Amino acid sequence: MIQNSGNISLDWLAKESCLCAKQFKRKFNERVGINPKSYAKIIRFTKAFNTKKQQKKKVKKVNNVIKFGEDVEGYTIPVLNEREIRASAGVLFLVLFISLMSA
């Protein structure tokens, strides 16, 4: 179940363990402590959480490369000045113009 990230049929698992679905659920609950459907949900949630955590790390790396604004003590977000904004808008316009001309 873990190898398939919780995306597996309980009927297939019951068949593989040579039990009917109801008996499989009962035995699973006895041994693990929760029903198989809840266990599969936990596995899916854990995988989604870990994926989100990895994506946040990647975003932080990209943010460090494309740092915009300057860090000022006392502020939690980067402080932007007017020159930086105008320069980035000009670069953005230039990239857009070049991409439209080459298309």
Measuring CA to CA, which residue among 94, 92, 72, 95 is closest to residue 84?
92
Residue 70 dihedral angles phi and psi, to the nearest 5°: -125, 150
Q: What is the torsional sign of CA 17, 19, 21, 27?
A: negative
76 CB contacts (<8 Å, ≥6 apart)?
Answer: none
Per the structure, the complete domain to which residue 86 belongs is given by: 69-103
User: What's the pLDDT score for residue 30?
Assistant: 92
14 and 28 inside one domain: yes
Q: Where are the alpha helices (DSSP H) in the chain?
A: 10-16, 21-32, 36-65, 82-102
Tens digits of per-residue pLDDT, 50-83?
887 777 776 666 666 566 666 778 777 776 777 7
Instruction: Give the number of other Cβ atoms within 10 Å of residue 103's Cβ.
Output: 5
Total domains present in the chain: 2
62 and 76 inside one domain: no
User: What's the pLDDT score for residue 68?
Assistant: 62
Tens digits of per-residue pLDDT, 13-54?
888 889 898 998 999 899 989 888 888 888 888 888 888 777
89 and 100 inside one domain: yes
Measured CA angle at 26 (ends 25, 32), to 5 deg = 80
60 and 73 inside one domain: no
Please say if the pLDDT value at position 8 is more than 70: yes
Q: Classify residue 76 by its DSSP letter.
A: S
